[in-house]
Structure 1
Amino acid sequence: MPDEATRRTDLADLVSSRMKELDLSYRTLAARTVDPESPDEGPTWTRGTLENLAKGLKVKVPGPEKVRGLAAGLALPHRLVQDAMRAQFFDIDSVRVEGETLDEDTLVMLRHYETLSPEDRLKLRKIAEDWSQMRPPSVD
C-alpha cells in the first residue's frame, strides 16, 4: 500500500464529486449502497466509512459487494467504481480499448499508466486493440 504522501484518491474523489452532483449526504448515500445482487442484505456502507473515505482517511479495501453497492448508491456504472477502487487501493489503472470481445471492449490493467508519455499510451492502446481483435484458432 502506498504511503500517505503518494496514496491515490481516485475512489474518494469519485465519491465526493458524485455526492455533490446528486446533492447527497453521507447518511443518504449510505442508505442507498445496496448491492443489487443481494438486496436483502441492506446497505453495504456506513455513514462513517463513507465520510472517512471521502476525507482521505484510511479505510479497508472494499469487497465486491461493497463496490456494487457503492455503484448503486452513486448511480454509476459498476466498472467505473471498480476502476476507481483498483486505482486507489492497488495503484492499478484500467485502460479500456474498444474491440470485439464479449463486453465490446478490452480491459488492460497496469500500474503507473498515468506516468507514460502520450506516445507510449497510444502505443499501448494500439497493442491492446490489436490483441482484442485476434481470434483464437478454431478447434475442429
Structure 2
Amino acid sequence: MAEHDTETPFSDLVRTRRAELGLSLRALAERCIDPETGATPITKGWIERLEKGEPVLTPRLSELRAMAAGLQLPLRRLQDEAAVQFLGMQRQAEWSGDSTVRAVVARMEELTPEERADLAQMAELYAAQQVARRETSKGS
C-alpha cells in the first residue's frame, strides 16, 4: 500500500475530475477501460478509498491508462500526479501553484508540432494583450 504525506494530487485530480464529469463512483469505474488491453482494472471501491484518502495500492500503468480514459485526461497528467503522491517524486517543474499549467503541458503532448507552434503563438499574443490591458487600467 502507498504511504503518502499530506500531498494528494492524484486523489484530488480524480475527485475533482469525476465531479466535473458528473459521474458516480460506479459510472467512473465502468468507464475506466485500458485502451491497450480492453481490461477494466479499476473498481468502484478503489476509487472511493482513493478519494477518501484511505490507503490504496499504487496504480500500475494499465490502471493509469484506464483512469485516463475514464476521466478523459492525458495519461501523462495522471502519471505525473501519481508519481508525486505514491512515489514521493518531485515534479519535473513547478510552474504553477495549482494544476492549470501542468494540465496544459500534458495536453500539449497530444498536439502535432505545428499545432503546438500555433498554440504557443496564441499564448504569446494573449499574454501581451493582458499586459497591455493591465497597463491601460493602471493609467485610468
Tell me if the contact between 2:11 and 2:51 (Cα under 8 Å) persists in the aligned partners.
Answer: yes
Structure 2: runs of 5+ lacking an equivalent: 96-108, 111-140
Please give the residue correspondences for 1:30-109 in structure 2 after superposition, counting only pairs within 5 Å.
30-39=29-38, 41=39, 43-95=40-92
- Residue aligning to 2:134: none
Question: Partners in 1 of 2:47 and 2:3 — Cα distance?
Answer: 20
Identity %: 39
- CA deviations 1:109-138 (Å, max 9, x no partner) are xxxxxxxxxxxxxxxxxxxxxxxxxxxxxx
Shift of 1:95: 2.2
- The residue matched to 1:93 in structure 2 has which SS? coil
Q: Which residue of the partner structure matches residue 132 of structure 1?
A: none
Matched residue count: 95
Paired residue secondary structure (1:94) = coil
Choose between structure 1 and 2: higher helix proportion: 2
Structure with more relative contact order (C-alpha pairs < 8 Å, separation 6 or more): 2
**1:10–1:85 Cα contact (<8 Å) kept:** yes
Higher strand share: 1
CA distance in 2, matches of 1:9, 1:53: 9
Q: Which residue of 2 aligns with 1:9?
A: 8
Distance 2:67 2:44 in 1: 12
Runs (4+) off by over 3 Å = none
TM-score (norm 2): 0.62
